[in-house]
């Protein structure tokens, strides 16, 4: 034994030297903790592991932190500078924690010496969890997971994954305050409990909750009281046996449930890393610190905007890169294709049908499955818009998944649910070709595995940069307390009555928070300037000045905390947009021009619509000056105030009153010289000045929306109250809008998108301008008065053209 002890110290020194050369780590919870230099520091590991201790010693030496090697003197007591909590002991029925002798000795020493204090720094070490390295069988075998690992696997992990170690350093814990407030035995138990809770939260955040076996989970779903009742109801309604309906429920469960596999997740990460490096010039993620602060003790529901099939892959990659567990993703059943569906299912996707309103058993199974994911702490991701946006706008939120989440939380509100709104900004989406066809009237094509082969040739084409912006998180309990204060009174009902109020409000709030985190890209800026000219051509120098103006307008407005602006100069933005194939640059004797073909202009509307909501209030003010030279604030408020709720609903903007928005817009426009403030009014600049041209271009951004509203109201008022059904009005308005684009020589299919007219009618009904009686739309004299007052916005020629179009085409 003496010989072995004499060899132990040199052996450890050799291991330290070898590991110090081999080890490569990174911090995930940056910045590094603020340590008290006057207070002794002890590091705590979640379990005894020689490899973790060596990694910690190496890290502290490189970072210049207090050493984790050797002992720390506390009066007459000496303790190791790095201690570990004992491993949990597994009993027959539960897992028990054991006492830590080092921790008990430390707290006893502090109790006996009131002048002493110690700071404990919890450190979690993950081998093989850090992304960005090569994929391989041995790396997967040796990577960290929830299973306890033996010495052989630890040794393999040090050899294989020593170059990608992830270090999570927690905030220091001051022990003096614990000892002073509690008796020693209680302080000993509470300190160990606080540390174990911290380590578990970090592990959940990095690896996700421990996954149950898929078949066990499905069986538990089917055996739940809610599903058993649905099985009984289905057997009665269909006149079949309980056994047959149970088999049907199990079949639904297998159709829905994911089959998450950590090796597949790591494989997909490495595959996606190579894909993004080849496809995009970079992926930037902003605002993840808010997510990291919530992960571990909150149920996270990621709700990104839906612009591309790449969205869920991109978000999972970004979260994994930052050390967070990729979420379980609600995917449409259309993606459950051969090979692709199986891979997505093992990557965390669970599948749902587009509609299951008439299948109560399927609905019960799906609801119970979602509830079990939420109650067990699995992060979720779903798209509140339902499908991808073909116009580039934020679509109206769909109630399905939001209602399921609210019902699940009402059943078990002990674990707080945090919604994470996410805006994903592309400079060029992979689906550009299919979106162009659909914008020009083509039918949506059904997905198939062959589509993957068709996009391979696009991997060599430039697709620009991708920006992922995290919006302001929303705490569900606080939201419900504000919206429906009595929600806890009847929360145990299968479908509480307050859902009808809470679900639309929740969807609207999340859509607003997504839009409030938009990324303005060079392509969207070029689209905003170029498409403001009806012939889709503009002088390069004018476009450069207008793009800079748009950025300056947005930069100096409040509420920009989560909005991102492009770096660089406008000339570089134009060159970048041309490189991506969206515009043409044509030299000319009097100066270079920027032009777009009809196909390019149609596609650019998608990118313009991504950020149009950020300028719509200023555009509305600018439009009022098209044929009016001056207004005072009261006149503008009277003229534009009734229009604002319609625009706010269409563009998913906050529901604040228009008066403060008007004040901010006027101040911003005046600061840029687009309006002139006098003693009693706001005036537009002289027509020959460049600022007048910029004001005109800005006002053109809102013109299509106002024209659609004018057409719809003109059709309704000409027909009379109680004459048209909602569907008939939508279709007649759409047809007139399509005719207007053809007569004007415009190539703007999104102008006559039927969903925009439907959203406009939703807003008018919500505001009380319209109501339905006997399935027809009714109104009173106030709508006619508002429409006549709104005519002042349009110049006489435009008003005459719209009016004549309506009167010629409607009976």
- Give 106-128 pLDDT, tens digit per residue: 888 888 888 788 888 898 888 76
Higher pLDDT, 124 or 215: 124
Mapping DSSP to helix (H, G, I), strand (E, B) and coil, where does residue 176 land?
A: helix
**CATH code of the domain containing 725:** 1.10.10
Mean pLDDT of all residues belonging to the chain: 82
Least confident segment among 143-157, 315-329, 406-420: 143-157
Is 363 part of any domain? yes
Q: Are 474 and 407 in contact (CB under 8 A)?
A: no
293 falls in which pLDDT band (50, 70, 90)?
A: confident
β-pair partners for 606? none
What DSSP string describes 573-590?
HHHHHHHTTS-EEE--TT
The candidate with the shortest Cα–Cα distance to 637, out of 620, 654, 653, is: 620
2 falls in which pLDDT band (50, 70, 90)?
A: very low
Least confident segment among 118-132, 384-398, 638-652: 118-132
Among 149, 173, 207, give the residue marking a domain's end.
207
Residue 513 pLDDT = 95
Residue 550 pLDDT = 96
Q: Are 610 and 652 in contact (CB under 8 A)?
A: no
Is 10 part of any domain? no
Is 212 part of any domain? no
d(C-alpha 767, C-alpha 104), whole Å: 66
Q: Report the percent of the chain where pLDDT is more than 90.
A: 34
pLDDT in tens, 786-795: 888 877 787 7
Higher pLDDT, 688 or 132: 688
Residue 37 pLDDT = 75
What DSSP string describes 83-136?
EEPPPPEE-SS-EE----HHHHHHHHHHHH-TT---EEEEEEEEES--SSS---
The candidate with the shortest Cα–Cα distance to 345, out of 436, 218, 248, 173, is: 218
Among 496, 515, 534, give the residue marking a domain's end.
515
β-pair partners for 77? 74
3-state helix, strand and coil shares in percent for the chain, rounded to the nearest 5 = 55, 15, 35
Both 63 and 189 in a single domain? yes
Listed in sequence order, the residues at least 6 apart from 320 whose beta carbon sits closer than 8 Å to its beta carbon are 131, 265, 269, 326
Q: How many CB atoms lie within 10 A of CB 329?
A: 24
d(C-alpha 432, C-alpha 439), whole Å: 10
Structure token pair of residue 426:
């592309």
d(C-alpha 459, C-alpha 450), whole Å: 16
Both 750 and 625 in a single domain? no
pLDDT in tens, 587-611: 988 889 999 998 898 889 999 999 9
Both 476 and 580 in a single domain? no
Residue 342 pLDDT = 81
**CATH code of the domain containing 310:** 3.40.1130
Half-sphere exposure of 271 (CA within 13 A, CB side): 11
Q: Which residues of 198-213 are buried (b: 16+ CB within 10 A; e: fewer)?
A: bbebbbbbbbbeebee
β-pairing, 77-80 vs 71-74, is antiparallel
Is 247 part of any domain? no
Burial class (CB in 10 A: 0-12, 13-18, 19+), 277: exposed
Both 711 and 772 in a single domain? yes
Q: Report the percent of the chain where pLDDT is more than 70.
A: 84
What DSSP string describes 697-757?
HHHTTTHHHHHHHHHHHHHHHHH-TTT--HHHHHHHHHHHHHHHHHHHT---GGGG-HHHH
Higher pLDDT, 437 or 473: 473
Both 371 and 449 in a single domain? yes
Residue 23 pLDDT = 66
Give the DSSP H or E segment for 479: helix 476-483
Q: Are 702 and 531 in contact (CB under 8 A)?
A: no
Q: Are 330 and 352 in contact (CB under 8 A)?
A: yes
Residue 802 pLDDT = 72
Is 225 part of any domain? no
Please tell me which of 20-24, 327-331, 750-754, 793-797 the model is most confident about, judged by mean pLDDT.
Answer: 327-331
CA angle 760, 766, 772 (to 5 degrees): 85
Place of tokens 């050899």: 159
491 falls in which pLDDT band (50, 70, 90)?
A: low
Both 588 and 525 in a single domain? yes
Higher pLDDT, 110 or 229: 229
Both 437 and 366 in a single domain? yes
Among 185, 207, 229, give the residue marking a domain's end.
207
Residue 449 pLDDT = 54
Is 784 part of any domain? yes
735 falls in which pLDDT band (50, 70, 90)?
A: confident
What is the arithmetic mean of pLDDT over 372-376? Answer: 88
Residue 173 pLDDT = 84
Q: 668 pLDDT exceeds 80?
A: yes
d(C-alpha 602, C-alpha 607), whole Å: 10
Number of domains forming the structure of the chain? 5
Please tell me which of 59-73, 133-147, 795-809 the model is most confident about, judged by mean pLDDT.
Answer: 59-73
Q: 809 pLDDT exceeds 80?
A: no
Question: What secondary structure, in 3-state letters, does 195-223 show?
Answer: HHHHHHHHHHHHHCCCCCCHHHHHHHHHC
Residue 521 pLDDT = 95
Q: 153 pLDDT exceeds 90?
A: no
Higher pLDDT, 770 or 18: 770
Least confident segment among 60-69, 92-101, 209-218, 794-803: 92-101
Give the DSSP H or E segment for 788: helix 781-790
Is 231 part of any domain? no
Q: 178 pLDDT exceeds 80?
A: no
What DSSP string describes 351-414?
EE-S--TT-HHHHHHHHHHHHHHHHTT--EE--TTSS--SSSSPPPPPSHHHHHHHHHHHH-TT
Both 712 and 770 in a single domain? yes
Q: 349 pLDDT exceeds 60?
A: yes
Q: Are 420 and 303 in contact (CB under 8 A)?
A: yes
Within 239-287, residue ranges assigned H as helices are 242-256, 262-279
Q: 132 pLDDT exceeds 50?
A: no
68 falls in which pLDDT band (50, 70, 90)?
A: confident
Residue 140 pLDDT = 44
Q: How many CB atoms lie within 10 A of CB 5?
A: 8
Q: Are 576 and 464 in contact (CB under 8 A)?
A: yes
Listed in sequence order, the residues at least 6 apart from 466 whose beta carbon sits closer than 8 Å to its beta carbon are 276, 280, 282, 283, 284, 314, 424, 425, 426, 427
What residue numbers bound the domain in which 637 lies?
615-698
Both 507 and 561 in a single domain? no
Residue 161 pLDDT = 61
Higher pLDDT, 207 or 342: 342
pLDDT in tens, 549-567: 999 999 888 778 899 999 9
Q: Are 642 and 790 in contact (CB under 8 A)?
A: yes
What is the arithmetic mean of pLDDT over 489-502? Answer: 78
Is 779 part of any domain? yes
Mapping DSSP to helix (H, G, I), strand (E, B) and coil, where does residue 70 land?
A: coil
Least confident segment among 156-165, 326-335, 705-714: 156-165
Both 431 and 488 in a single domain? yes
d(C-alpha 201, C-alpha 208), whole Å: 9
Both 474 and 525 in a single domain? no
Both 502 and 541 in a single domain? no
Higher pLDDT, 136 or 339: 339
Residue 206 pLDDT = 73
d(C-alpha 533, C-alpha 295), whole Å: 47
What is the arithmetic mean of pLDDT over 520-535? Answer: 92
What is the arithmetic mean of pLDDT over 4-31? Answer: 60
Give the DSSP H or E segment for 72: strand 71-74
Structure token pair of residue 25:
């780590």
Q: How many CB atoms lie within 10 A of CB 148?
A: 10
Mapping DSSP to helix (H, G, I), strand (E, B) and coil, where does residue 417 land?
A: strand
170 falls in which pLDDT band (50, 70, 90)?
A: confident
Q: 648 pLDDT exceeds 50?
A: yes
Higher pLDDT, 456 or 346: 346
């Amino acid at each position: 034994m003496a010989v072995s002890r004499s060899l132990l110290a040199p052996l450890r020194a050799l291991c330290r030297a070898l590991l110090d050369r081999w080890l490569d780590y990174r911090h995930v919870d940056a910045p590094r903790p603020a340590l008290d230099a006057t207070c002794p520091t002890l590091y705590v590991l979640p379990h005894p592991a020689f490899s973790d201790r060596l990694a910690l010693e190496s890290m502290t030496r490189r970072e210049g932190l207090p050493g984790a090697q050797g002992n720390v003197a506390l009066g007459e007591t000496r303790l190791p500078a790095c201690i570990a909590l004992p491993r949990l002991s597994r009993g027959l029925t539960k897992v028990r924690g054991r006492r830590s002798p080092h921790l008990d000795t430390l707290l006893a020493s502090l109790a006996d010496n009131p002048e002493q204090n110690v700071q404990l720094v919890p450190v979690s070490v993950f081998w093989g969890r850090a992304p960005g390295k090569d994929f391989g069988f041995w790396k997967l075998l040796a990577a960290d997971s929830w299973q306890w690992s033996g010495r052989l696997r630890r040794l393999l992990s040090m050899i294989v994954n020593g170059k990608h170690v992830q270090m999570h350093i927690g905030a220091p814990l001051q022990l003096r305050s614990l000892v002073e407030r509690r008796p020693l035995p209680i302080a000993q138990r509470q300190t160990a409990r606080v540390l174990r809770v911290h380590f578990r939260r970090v592990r959940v955040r990095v690896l996700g909750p421990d996954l149950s076996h898929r078949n066990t989970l499905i069986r538990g779903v089917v055996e739940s009281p809610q599903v058993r009742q649905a099985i009984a109801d289905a057997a009665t309604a269909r006149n079949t046996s309980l056994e047959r309906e149970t088999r049907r429920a199990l079949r639904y469960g297998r159709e829905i449930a994911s089959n998450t596999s950590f090796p597949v997740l790591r494989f997909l990460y490495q595959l996606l890393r190579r894909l993004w490096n080849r496809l995009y010039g970079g992926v930037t993620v902003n605002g993840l610190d808010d997510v990291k602060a919530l992960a571990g003790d909150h149920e996270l529901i990621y709700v990104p905007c839906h612009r591309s099939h790449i969205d869920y892959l991109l978000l999972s990659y970004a979260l994994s890169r930052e050390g967070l567990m990729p979420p379980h993703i609600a995917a449409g059943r259309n993606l459950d294709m051969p090979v692709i569906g199986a891979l997505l299912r093992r990557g965390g996707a669970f599948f749902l049908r587009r509609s299951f309103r008439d299948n109560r058993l399927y609905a019960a199974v799906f609801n119970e499955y979602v509830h079990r994911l939420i109650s067990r702490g699995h992060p979720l991701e779903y798209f509140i818009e339902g499908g991808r946006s073909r116009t580039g706008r934020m679509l109206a939120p769909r109630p399905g998944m939001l209602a399921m989440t609210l019902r699940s939380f009402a059943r078990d509100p002990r674990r707080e649910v945090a919604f994470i709104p996410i805006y994903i900004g592309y400079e060029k989406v992979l689906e550009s070709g299919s979106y162009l066809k659909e914008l020009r009237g083509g039918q949506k094509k059904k997905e198939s595995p062959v589509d993957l082969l068709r996009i391979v040739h696009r991997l060599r084409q430039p697709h620009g940069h991708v920006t992922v912006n995290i919006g302001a998180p929303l705490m569900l309990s606080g939201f419900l307390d504000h919206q429906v204060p009595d929600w806890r009174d009847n929360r145990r009902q299968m479908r509480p009555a307050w859902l009808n109020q809470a679900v639309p409000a929740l969807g609207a709030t999340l859509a607003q928070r997504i839009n409030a985190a938009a990324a303005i890209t060079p392509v969207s800026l070029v689209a905003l300037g170029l498409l403001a000219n009806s012939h889709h051509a503009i002088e390069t120098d004018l476009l450069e000045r207008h793009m800079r103006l748009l950025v300056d307008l947005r930069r100096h407005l409040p509420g920009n905390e989560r909005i991102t602006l492009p770096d660089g100069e406008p000339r570089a933005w134009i060159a970048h947009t041309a490189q991506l194939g969206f515009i043409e640059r044509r030299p000319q004797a009097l100066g270079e021009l920027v032009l777009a073909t009809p196909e390019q202009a149609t596609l650019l509307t998608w990118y313009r619509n991504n950020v149009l909501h950020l300028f719509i209030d200023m555009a509305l003010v600018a439009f009022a000056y098209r044929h009016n030279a001056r207004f005072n604030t009261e006149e503008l408020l009277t003229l534009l105030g009734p229009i604002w709720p319609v625009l706010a609903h269409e563009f998913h903007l906050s529901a604040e009153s228009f008066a403060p928005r008007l004040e901010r817009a006027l101040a911003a426009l005046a600061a840029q010289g687009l309006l002139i403030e006098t003693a009693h009014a706001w005036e537009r600049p002289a027509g020959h000045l460049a600022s007048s041209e910029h004001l005109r271009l800005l006002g053109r951004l809102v013109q299509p929306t106002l024209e659609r509203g004018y057409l719809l109201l003109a059709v309704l008022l000409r027909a009379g109250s109680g004459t048209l059904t909602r569907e008939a009005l939508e279709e007649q308005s759409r047809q007139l809008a399509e005719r207007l684009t053809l007569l004007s020589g415009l190539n703007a299919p999104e102008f006559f998108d039927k969903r925009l007219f439907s959203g406009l009618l939703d807003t008018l009904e919500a505001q009380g301008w319209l109501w339905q009686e006997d399935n027809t739309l009714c109104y009173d004299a106030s709508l006619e008065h508002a429409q006549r007052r709104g005519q002042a916005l349009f110049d006489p020629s435009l008003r005459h053209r719209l009016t004549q179009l309506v009167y010629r085409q409607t009976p």
